[in-house]
Structure 1
Amino acid sequence: MSDPTRRSGAGTLWLGTHTRSEHQLSLQFGLDDLRFTASYWYEDVDLVDLERRYGPDTLDRVCFHLAAFTANTLVSLRPAHFDAGPYQRHCTPEFWSLWRRVVHGVWAQWRYEHDLPDYEGPDLLRSPAEVVPSPVAVSGTGEPGVLAFFGGGKDSVVSLRLLQRAGVPCDTLVYSSSTYGSAGKQHSLCDTLLDVLGLPAERRRRVWAYDDLVDSPVARLAPQHDLLPLTAAETPASVFAAVPLVLAHGYRGLSLGHERSADQGNAVWSPAGDEINHQWGKSVECEQVLADYLRTHLVEDCHYFSPLKAVHDPLIFTMLAAEPDAIPFTHSCNVEKPWCGRCAKCAYVWLGYSAYLPADVVARTFRGHGNLFDHPDNQVWFRQLLGLSDHTPFECVGGVEETRLAFALCRRRGLGGLAMDVFEREVPPVDLDALLERYLEVGSLGAWCPPGWREPLEARLRAAAAGARPQLATS
């Protein structure tokens, strides 16, 4: 049994006052006497004008949600209480239910890594607010389109093209994060890719996010907090970071490139009986609860959804093949952008590219890295991806069967190496046709995606799947 003294943690996670200028929002938060700051810079939003248009209380509500989902990184230090501080009037029962649900889902991996099955995050220090405000109505006369998050990976490219070809008007949002290194490099890489894709500059939005907790020496200088690495609810935080853009420009949708593959967990942890899913923030469960909350409690008639939620990675890789000029400019490594060639993310994406895309395109994309099947650092990742370890990699990657399908397709193309030797020696025979039938299936985008967008998007996905089947079939 787990130690009951480990359930509640110690200390208080608190939110402090914020400041805002024309283009910058600065937040304060901390744990007891530890104080941190985060700032969000908006190129295409005048926060002073937003306050004039919507009133200070609405802007305070938006700041509260962004502060609370930025500060919840401190759940990684196991606080006992949560103090909303100056935002107490906005801390409603509905908000608290959402915040705790996100903590439960996102921090499942963290609980597993630290053997804390019973810790569910901090408790409220004060009773929640009694008055539940109505969502704000977006003003403006602009085109009621979609703001599409664009991170520079395969999903961003396919998602953007899918929206465009389905006739959904959309702009892109690129946000940089302290987690991924230089902000300038992050924006430059995405700009280059968007240039190749032909998206006009006026259709691109940018946010710069800086968080001094992420890069702090908290483990070294506050050794009582030994529960690293830090976990963050990046997707929910980014959604709330986009709300000022929604209010400023009148968007009716926020879209992300989250695929059906993200719904599958990495392992089941027997002490708690929980599925551990590193990608829970990208799961259909998280998408639905965020979509419902955003539309019901914060911004009226703003729909959060993923155009790729109906499909798995094999179809996405196949759809990506239609963009051969753009593929070499994709990037999704979380260690060293564009690609380090030795992490789980690089191993998985290279595998998928090698299975579904032309060899010359793969070589131009991962230039200088060679055959990743042979790299010594990647052997542990490929074993985990193939289901030959206790869990799949704690990264944004596909499931075991998708990996085995990709290996089988690579073998059919004649690609070998150390990891391929492991696949042939230790993995049972793969039924290619059965796996292709399973992973080219198109599901539903969910009722939270408005029918006017959902129906043309699903029709495009079904057409892509019908075209992929004869292309990939073995008989």
Structure 2
Amino acid sequence: MKTNNRVKNLREKHPKFVYEKYSYNILNNNFKMFFQFKIEPDIIFSPEITIKGIDKKRLALIGDRVLNNLVFHIGLIEVLSYWKAASSPEIIIKAGYLNKEQIKWWKDLIFNGMGQFFYENNINFTDPNFLKISNDFKGAERREQYRGKLKTSKVLVPVGGGKDSVITMEILKRNINCFSLNPTLASKKIMKAAHCQNPIIVERRIDKNLLKLNQKGYLNGHTPFSAYLAFLSVLLALIFDHKFIAFSNERSSNEGNLKYLGRNINHQWSKSFQFENLFRKYSKKYLAKEVEYFSFLRPLYEIQIAKLFSKYPKYFFSFLSCNEAHKTNSGRKKPIKGWCGKCPKCLFVFAVLYPFLKQRDLIRIFKKNLFTKKELLVIMKELIGERKFKPFECVGTKKESLVAFYLSWEKASKLNELPFLLKYFEKKILPKHLNLKKESQRTMKSWNNQHNLPVRFKKDLKYLTNYIGMLQ
């Protein structure tokens, strides 16, 4: 397969991407990181990240060599957002040194984590000459892994605006320290409702040059954001002295969306169990051996999490996980800051909540009954596997989407009110899946043993799921 002409021209015009340097300083109890990247010959990026409310004494205990290592790695994951603009054939690392094992790890991250980007931009990333990562580090090595001990009393929990982190916070309750990157109104409301005391706030500033390039026709698209959060969380764990980092990624994220050039393309790859294992190994070897990074909700499906979420009504009108709500199209439009009611994420979340929430609450959340919208039929078919393509969104597996629509149909049937999508489901989908009742029961009672939960956290999650009758 040939890469399209636009990509080919950009790669020829910009053959090298350079990670030039990084630095950091402390200003008014804020830890500020600075990076410089270059797309040769003449495009410069200078993104910045600020971690607020740090303890200077704690930083002194960590030491400059450890901080240098972690900031260098934050720069590496930051690279992906800027490299993609031209997808240069070579990434040159001048800011530090990577050994052969690390270079392979980072190439694998790019190939797996940016599969959607390659697909949507018609890029042949399977070409053996597609990408080279090379070292050009000239200075003395100033970096080392953290080998000290960390406190186990509290767990670091990243908080977005969605329902999943709500469940993690509620189950772990008094033993958490929240953090949020560029917090949205939804994430602020959620942290307040969860009584997160003094949440850690991180501000990430994207270089405006990148937005200008996007508007000029340079490449744009999906990057593995959860991988970004993983590296950031290790730095935060050390700065704020936490051994445990509990993400809220579930087993549903393991399923891909489609095949492209013989590869499985998964929008949620950096949320998957595969990435979790790869990152844990890398982090313990190169970042901080003591840190335990894991996903607290890994044993569960999204629809099981939705049932758990239904037990916490104080969050119903605060959470927001519609990605359209925050999109700006590279600065061309203002974000809508609410559920759009038109995208796969909205329909999926509506479907998994419908069996467990009162309809008046759902309508208040989404402003309408999404099952009445005929224009969402195509999306429903994509979600349940009636088409070859599963939407590029953080949605559940095709099987659990079927279960969600089945349970929704079952509930609506008892109320004698079948809206358009559920009528279609009854007529066209149900006859093809005669075992959906049993499949629904199995799904709602399932527990995935492929996880990295420490014993004490496994007990916490199992206790609650047993309590609400989810597990056998």
TM category, shorter: 0.7 to 0.9
| Residue among 193, 202, 211 paired with 1:207 | 202
Distance 1:131 1:444, change over 3 A: farther
**Contact 2:22-2:95 at 8 Å conserved across structures:** no
**Change in CA separation of 1:379 and 1:284 when aligned onto 2, cut-off 3 Å:** same
Alignment counterpart, residue 194 of structure 1, candidates 191, 195, 200: 191
| Matched-pair contact (CA < 8 Å) for 2:69–2:143 | no
Task: Tell whether the 8 Å contact from 2:19 to 2:36 is kept in structure 1 after alignment.
Answer: yes
Aligned length: 441
Tell me, in whole angstroms, the C-alpha distance in 2 between the residues paired with 1:137 and 1:287.
21
Residue of structure 1 equivalent to 2:241: 250
d(CA) in 2 for partners of 1:291, 1:18: 24
2 CA distance for matches of 1:145 and 1:242? 14
**Maintained 8 Å contact 1:263/1:284:** yes
Residue in structure 2 matched with residue 19 of structure 1 by the alignment: 23
Cα offset, 1:193, TM superposition: 2.0
What's the counterpart of residue 112 of structure 1? 119
Partners of 2:277 and 2:428 in 1: CA distance: 38
Equivalent position to 1:38, from 47, 52, 56: 47
- Paired position in structure 1 for 2:334: none
Give the CA deviation at 1:21: 2.8
Distance 1:220 1:194, change over 3 A: closer
Residues 78, 329 of structure 1: alpha-carbon distance in 2 compared, 3 angstrom cutoff = same
**Partner of 1:473 in structure 2?**
none
Q: CA deviation at 1:346?
A: 1.1
Amino acid across the alignment from 2:204: A
Distance (Å, rounded) in 2 between the aligned partners of 1:355 and 1:26: 47
**Any idea what SS the aligned residue of 2:378 has?**
helix
**Counterparts in 2 of 1:397-412, with a 5 A limit?**
397-412=395-410
TM-score, length-scaled by structure 1: 0.84
Q: In the alignment, which residue of structure 1 is the partner of 2:332? A: none
Displacement of 1:388 after TM fit?
2.3
CA distance in 2, matches of 1:449, 1:282: 15
The residue number in structure 1 matching 2:262 is: 273
CA separation in 2, counterparts of 1:134 and 1:20? 16
Shift of 1:325: 1.9
Cα-to-partner distance string for 1:228-277 (whole Å, 9 max, x where unaligned): 332212111112222332122210011111000110111233xx322111
Question: How far off its partner does 1:352 sit?
Answer: 1.2
1:434 deviates by 2.2
Q: 1:361 to 1:441 in 2, by over 3 A?
A: same
Shift of 1:136: 0.7
Q: Which residue of 2 aligns with 1:74?
A: 82
Q: Is 282-291 or 18-27 further displaced after alignment?
A: 18-27
Counterpart of 1:137, as a letter, is R
> CA shift at 1:293, angstroms?
1.2
Q: Is 1:310 the equivalent of 2:299?
A: yes
Q: CA deviation at 1:298?
A: 0.6
Question: Is contact 1:333-1:345 (8 Å) kept?
Answer: yes
Which amino acid in 2 is paired with 1:468?
Answer: M
Q: Distance in 1 between matches of 2:208 and 2:278?
A: 27
| Residue identity opposite 1:362 in structure 2 | L
Structure 1, unmatched stretches of 5+, are: 177-182, 471-475
Residues 379 and 128 from structure 1, CA distance in 2 versus in 1: closer, same or farther, beyond 3 angstroms?
Answer: farther
**Alpha-carbon distance change, 38 to 132 in structure 1, aligned in 2, over 3 angstroms:** closer
8 Å contact from structure 1 (residues 9, 122) kept in 2: no
Query: Tell me, what secondary structure is at the counterpart of 1:278?
Result: coil
Q: TM-score, normalised by structure 2?
A: 0.84
Distance of aligned partners of 1:409 and 1:4 in 2 relative to their CA distance in 1, 3 Å threshold: closer
| Alignment equivalent of 1:149, drawn from 128, 139, 158 | 158
In structure 1, give the amino acid aligned to 2:134: L
C-alpha RMSD of matched pairs (Å): 3.0
CA change 1:451–1:218 in 2 (3 A) is same
Separation in 2 of the partners of 1:258 and 1:200? 20
- Range that drifts further, 347-356 or 436-445: 436-445
Structure 1 residues 214 and 139: CA distance shift in structure 2, 3 A:
farther
Q: Distance in 2 between matches of 1:62 and 1:278?
A: 26
Q: Structure 1 pair 461/285, CA: closer, same or farther in 2 (3 Å)?
A: farther
Report the residue type matching 1:249 in the other structure. Answer: F
The alignment partner of 1:370 has SS state of: coil
Bigger Cα displacement from structure 2, 131-140 vs 234-243: 131-140
Q: Which runs of 4+ in 1 moved over 4 A?
A: 1-10, 48-51, 127-134
Residue 262 of structure 1 aligns with an amino acid whose one-letter code is S
Three-state SS of the structure 1 residue aligned to 2:54 is coil
